Chain A
């Protein structure tokens, strides 16, 4: 036999073996357990007195909001939870499925056990593996009781008959078997475990941030395989396809909240504006659809936990980098600032919080990535309209007024003026971001 033939046969044998191993490793559908007459049915938590059911559904609605299910599972023009919303990823487009209670096209036929396995293990009802765009790596921390409440709520919403749209992923990412590898590398299954050394409030905050809040999905950098490293948790990164920078929550140089008041953190999350900063872009979406509905107690608990995330910065506090800026650029930036920005943000960059955020001493202006600042100057933005701030103040776009050089000059200016410790930006950075559609 020729070597080529031998190799070919060996490959085929290996491939068959691999398929066999993979299909053995893939989970199947959950076995349906026949229930004894009169036995309580754990799979349907919707039994019980009407008042208890109502409470359970209301709790589930609250938790579903904390998990921001609606953001992905509702098309902007579509019915709530009916799915179909495209989610562009570096691997192709995913379409979130219908999670209404429709028995044929939604999850109406699912049991609470199956729903919990999906949340906890990332395995769908039929045993197929979920793509990690569904944040089961976070939702795995959700307790069984909370999963059951969300299930009860979803069963209670209006069923919508709408077939799921198949994903449009590039090869090889359209092969779900490959997710076994992804899971081995990046998925750690397990409910949240309280830290007895911390307060009950801290633990509640940690549970919400790490679990339903799925903050790590954006605030931990995603690598080329779409994975996140636990060691890099909350250290920030670019959000793929949205091209906003999700700042680090562990560094006081970025969105680390180590030196913030608890009230300001809770306000930022729940109100969308605070005396220290304001949310825009993808975080505005999170506040609008999810965090504004949190109770004051839960917003405060998340704030307490987030405040403890930053590591102690060992290095000396950074100083102004103004010396790195050419005087002509600095002067141009200052002039543009005075003409276009100072009316709201003040000559000294102090802003008029919470309506107009401060720029002096604002970590989101000075952090290493200037992407968000440049985008704000180009496209402006409105914070989300929330229950506690239903009429937010907005910033206008300047992309049609300022050239790339002018955008770079004014962003450089706000990054280094008033003892700000940012670094200069160049016109090419503005030019790159100008090509993107605002979103």
Chain B
């Protein structure tokens, strides 16, 4: 299988760990259901990113499933987390949103769905550790403006419409600075009751 997915490696790394160049996310270890949903969405044009739309345009479901399962099993080391100075108030706001949410604004904690260790939840919720701040901010923003969407009911859309641009920046910045988890495997499905119903968890 590794030979067949060489089409992915210049952006996502030889083992799906991501690469240093900018924006491309780590895909290794994300739940297979999540990765499969993304591949199908790229193929069918419901998620827009031209280089991905082009690459998977003519690949059948079964093969996309196999690719997803391949990367879901991999556990390469995590990249260096982001270092350097950041506004302490911003980091505090980020940490608070990720771990506790904002009851005033009706924002649930990221950890409520993405797992206490932020490593994701089977079958459809991705881990957030190991992603770069500009990737996370980019995804949240495109969700907010309606460019990115998930299976209905789109819980992520409900969450992000309650977040300000400053909230998005705070969450992304804080997440990019977290240490690699000891066990990067996603949590099992339905260990907890999720605050919003999610189409991708059905």
Contact = CB atoms under 8 A, between A and B. Distances in A.
B145 interface: no
Contacts of A438: 50-51, 53-55
Nearest to B62: A390
Nearest to A344: B6
B7 A382 contact: yes
A397 B11 contact: yes
Contacts of A284: 57-58
B60 A394 contact: no
Given A76-B44, A391-B63, A285 B6 contact: no
A288 interface: yes
Nearest to A281: B54
Interface in A358-404: 379-385, 390-401
B60 A385 contact: yes
Contacts, number: 85
Contacts of A285: 57-58
A396 B2 CA distance: 13
B7 A395 contact: yes
A395 B6 contact: yes
Contacts of B58: 284-285, 287-288, 382-385
B8 interface: yes
Contacts of B9: 396
A200 interface: no
Interface in B1-60: 3-11, 21-22, 44-46, 50-51, 53-60
Contacts of A397: 10-11, 51, 55
B46 to A, nearest CB: 6
Nearest to B9: A396
Contacts of A1: none
A218 B59 CA distance: 23
B66 A398 contact: no
B143 to A, nearest CB: 18
Contacts of A394: 4-8, 55
Interface string A217-258: 000000000000000000000000000000000000000000
B51 A391 contact: no
A379 to B, nearest CB: 6
A355 B60 CA distance: 17
A439 interface: yes
Contacts of B8: 394, 396
A77 interface: yes
- Output the residue of B8, B54, B57, B58 with the most chain A CB within 10 A: B58
Contact of B4 (A76, A77, A393, A398): A393
- Output the residue of B4, B22, B66 with the most chain A CB within 10 A: B4
A3 interface: no
Nearest to A439: B54
A384 B5 CA distance: 14
Nearest to A375: B54
B67 to A, nearest CB: 9
Nearest to A387: B60
Contacts of B50: 437-439
B51 A379 contact: yes
B59 A392 contact: yes
12 contacts: A284-B57, A344-B6, A380-B10, A382-B7, A385-B59, A393-B6, A395-B6, A396-B9, A396-B10, A437-B50, A438-B53, A438-B54
Give the 6 A-B residue pairs with the shortest CB-CB distance, closest first: A394-B7, A384-B58, A438-B54, A288-B58, A396-B10, A437-B50
Given A380-B55, A396-B6, A400-B11, 7 more contacts: A288-B57, A382-B7, A382-B55, A385-B63, A394-B5, A397-B11, A439-B50
